[in-house]
Structure 1
Amino acid sequence: MVTGFDGFGGSPFGGIDHFMFSAVPVIIGIIFVAVIITLIVNGAKYVKNATSEKESNYVRIVSKRMDVRHHSNMNDQNSFSSSHTYYYITLQFENGQRKEYLDVKNLYGLVAEGDEGYAAIQGDWIVAFERSVPQAERSSRF
Structure 2
Amino acid sequence: MDQTESFNTIFFSVFGIIALLMIIVIGKTIGAGLSNQAAELVQRPCKVVDKRTRVRGGSGDFSASTYNYITFEFDGGERKELEVKDRDFGVIVIGDRGELHYKGTRFVEFVRIMEA
Once the two structures are superposed, the pairs formed by residues 1-142 of structure 1 within 5 Å of their partners are 16-70=3-57, 81-104=62-85, 106-134=87-115, 138=116
Q: Which runs of 5+ in 1 are unaligned?
A: 1-14, 73-78
CA-to-aligned-CA distance 1:105-131 (integer Å, 9 cap, x gap)? 831111111111111111112211111
User: TM-score w.r.t. structure 1 length?
Assistant: 0.72
Q: Which runs of 5+ in 2 are unaligned?
A: none
RMSD of aligned C-alpha atoms?
A: 2.0
Supply the AA of the counterpart residue of 1:17. Answer: T
User: TM-score w.r.t. structure 2 length?
Assistant: 0.87
Find the structure with the greater CA-based Rg.
1
Q: Per chain length, whose mean CA-contact separation is higher, i.e. which structure has more relative contact order (CA < 8 Å, sep 6+)?
A: 2
Cα deviation for residue 95 of structure 1 reads 1.2
Structure 2 CA distance for aligned equivalents of residues 49 and 82 of structure 1: 28
The structure that is helix-richer by fraction is 2
